[in-house]
Amino acid sequence: MTITLYGIRNCGTVKKARAWLDEHGHAYVFHDFKTQGVTEALLKTWATKIGWEKLLNRSGMTFRNLSDDLKSDLNEDKALSLMAAHSSAIRRPVLSGDFGLDVGFSPERYAALLNA
């Protein structure tokens, strides 16, 4: 099974997810938003599967520090453009594989997805 973990290398939650994957022997490819970027097309694919609202990290500093113009009247197109331009506004980590797509990290959820 091919697993890709998307996130930001220095994010604490991403570090926990990577450590869990390593400890449980799951090989994965790590895609760092900061160095490798993220396309609107990929975000659109994810949004189709889980919804753009779940992808957008409204509680993070990046989103909170954006201008009110950028944050107001959000719809899918505006949110996807915002996340493509400000990758730190994407909820992390995003885990993708044969099992589907998952956002955020929970040891129990990862175990259910990957050890089923």
What phi and psi values does residue 53 have, to the nearest 5 degrees?
-65, -35
Q: Dihedral through CA 35, CA 41, CA 47, CA 50, nearest 10?
A: -70
11 counts as catalytic: yes
Catalytic residue among 6, 7, 8, 11: 11
The residue with tokens 């390593």 is: 22
Residues that are catalytic:
11
